[in-house]
Each structure stands twice: as C-alpha cells, then as structure tokens.
Structure 1
Amino acid sequence: MTSPALSPLAHALARTDFAANWYRWCDAQRDWAAEATGTYDEDSLLTATGAYAALPASEFMQAYRAAGAEVSRISTGPRHRSFTVEVAAGAVVCGLVVRLGRGLNSQECRLAVLANGERQGEPDPNPPYPRPIIGSRSQLEVVSRGIVDVLGQVARGWAS
C-alpha cells in the first residue's frame, strides 16, 4: 500500500526541523525560561485555578515581530483574535495566519506560500501545524522564534 503523495507545502515542511520541534513546543512541563533570551517579571501565566491567563493578541504579535517576522493584525475582538506572520526570501513569502483560541493561549495556524504574489498550492485542510497552549511568556518567545525560523526555512527552500 503506498502512502499519499505529500502536498508541496507538506514537502517543504518535511525538509525543515518542524516535526521534531512540534512536540517540544507543546510541552507544558519544559523549562522555557532556560531557553528564552529575555527575562520576564511575570513569566508564568498559570492562575490559582490551574488555568492559564489569556494574553492579548498584541503580546503574541510582538513576540513574532521580535523573532524577525512581519506581523499584521487581521481581526480584533474577543471572538476573532487573529493576525498574519510573514517571512520573505526574495520573491517568496511564507505566511502563517494565526488565530488565538478564545480564553486560551492556543494558536490555530494556516500556512501558505506566495511566490511573486501568487499562492503556491492550497493549504492543508487538516494542517499539522503547532497548536501549543502558551503557559508562559518565555514559552511564547521560544515558540514564536522557532515558528519564524521554520517559515524562513520554507521560504528559502521554496526560493531555491
């Protein structure tokens, strides 16, 4: 039995270290502060009830900007907190639409690649992209830095 062929986007992701990092980004028990370059007075988002305090979309957007991406807000309001993250390599732009979960710091992501302004294939309808629940500001820093790195790898790979 043969496995289905990978889409161009899935193939581009397979050439990165994305798969290995996916599980790491979702690890709530990891010492994220040890991997972060910044220090945060209020790092942990864990509340007394055991849930995580939701961060504003602007804080997520700033983390992706600090990691080197171009970031634009798509929507506002408590129901639709979303933005785009883009990394370019020449005429190729690897972009990610990020929608934050309501009441959670989860990220639902949709990947797309544009070459000379034209979409290259369709996004996977069931993408295997990270949906980590961010439990600390240091985790947000490390995860956003990792995702921006993967976007750059995909854009550079597509451009070559």
Structure 2
Amino acid sequence: MTDRRRNRMTLSPPACALARTDFAEAWYRWCDARRDWSAEATGTYEEDSLLTASGGFAALPASEFMQAYRSAGAEVSRGSTFPAPRHRSFTVEVAAGQVVCSLAIRLGRGLNSLECGLTVLAGGEQQGEPEMLHVIARVILRSRGEPDPDAPYPRPIIGSRSQLEVVSREIVDVLGQVARGWAS
C-alpha cells in the first residue's frame, strides 16, 4: 500500500467529505488578508479595508461576522460549542435533509482571526469528534502528498469587508456541499 493511500485512509469522515471539495486549497486562500478581495466580492463597501495605521486590522464586531454568514444563507446563532467560548463566538449551521454541518467560530481577541471547529450531525447523531478546519486543510493536503503551505498562522484573518463576504459565502457553500454529499 502506498503512503498516499494509507494517509487517505486515515482521514476522518468529515475530512473525507471536505476532501471531495476545493476546501483545502480555498482554506489557504481565505487566509490571505492582503489579497484584493473586492474583485471577488459581489457587494461594494464604502469602508472596505480594515488595515490600520499600525499595519494591523481593525476588529469587526461579532454581529458583522454573523450577518455575513446569514447573508450567505446559513443559520447563525450567538455563542459556540467551543469549550469556554468567548463573547466573540457564534455558530454557523448549514443543513441538507437530516444532515447539519455545524461550524463553531471563535474570533481572535483584537483580531478578526477565525478559529473554526466543524461538527457533522446526521439524523441528530454527531459524526465523530469536532475538528478544527485548519487541521483538516493540512491533513487533506498531506494525504495528497502535497507540501504544507508556507502559512505561519493558517487561519483566516479578515482584513476587509470584501474578504469577510467572500470567505463567509465560500465557507457556507463548502458546508452545503458536505451536507448534501453526506445526505445522499
């Protein structure tokens, strides 16, 4: 058995479902806060860039993140299933039939970084343990024999409202693909 095949066999069911999408490549693209996201956004934003004079990014309120995911078509609720959730956390749910992809999102303190933990529920039963998306992305790439990207902090740090729009829309789309694939 080849190393590639052995690695593929060790993917969890949620990781296998995500591996059938463009998730792994998209994850690292979503991590690029300095990309020109306005070219991919459908909306226009008067105050798009969150870049501050010090070179960091101004933190957006959790409510703005929540609204972006709602606009993308997800059900969103305040708080998350993270142990000891912070006040800047929320849960995004995308369903297809009896399958629900539940994404617990915790925003970094003073940053717009996204810590995302995925749980899949089928018929009300949790399918495995919650998994962090940044870990799944790396495992998928490794299972394909691809090198780890040069990303020191492989989590999206939202640097503009355009980026928030695109990332939320694409995450909701990927979760929908997983839920529909699981349901069939």
* TM-score, with structure 2 as normaliser: 0.80
1:100 CA drift (Å): 0.3
Identity across the alignment (%): 79
Contact 2:34–2:159 (8 Å) recurs in 1: no
1:29 CA drift (Å): 2.7
Q: Distance in 2 between matches of 1:110 and 1:124?
A: 5
Quote the residue 1:139 is aligned against. 163
* TM-score, with structure 1 as normaliser: 0.92
Quote the residue 1:43 is aligned against. 48
Quote the residue 1:59 is aligned against. 64
1:48-73 CA-partner distances (Å, limit 9, x unpaired): 11110000000000000000000000
1:148 maps to 2:168: no
Q: Distance in 1 between matches of 2:41 and 2:170?
A: 11
* Among candidates 110, 119, 122, match of residue 126 of structure 2: 119
1:41 CA drift (Å): 0.7
Alignment of 1:80-119 (within 5 A): 80-119=87-126
Can you give the 5+ residue segments of structure 2 that lack an aligned partner in the other structure?
Answer: 81-85, 138-153
Contact 2:119–2:131 (8 Å) recurs in 1: no
Contact 1:92–1:155 (8 Å) recurs in 2: yes
Structure in which a larger fraction of residues adopt helix: 2
Q: Distance in 1 between matches of 2:129 and 2:177?
A: 19
SS of aligned partner of 2:164:
helix
Quote the residue 1:27 is aligned against. 32
1:127 CA drift (Å): 3.0
- Runs (4+) off by over 4 Å: none
Q: Distance in 2 between matches of 1:135 and 1:28?
A: 5
Amino acid paired to 1:12: A
1:131 CA drift (Å): 1.8
SS of aligned partner of 2:79:
strand
Amino acid paired to 1:112: T
Contact 1:71–1:83 (8 Å) recurs in 2: yes
1:24-79 CA-partner distances (Å, limit 9, x unpaired): 1111231101110111110000011111000000000000000000000017xxx5
Q: Distance in 1 between matches of 2:123 and 2:136?
A: 26
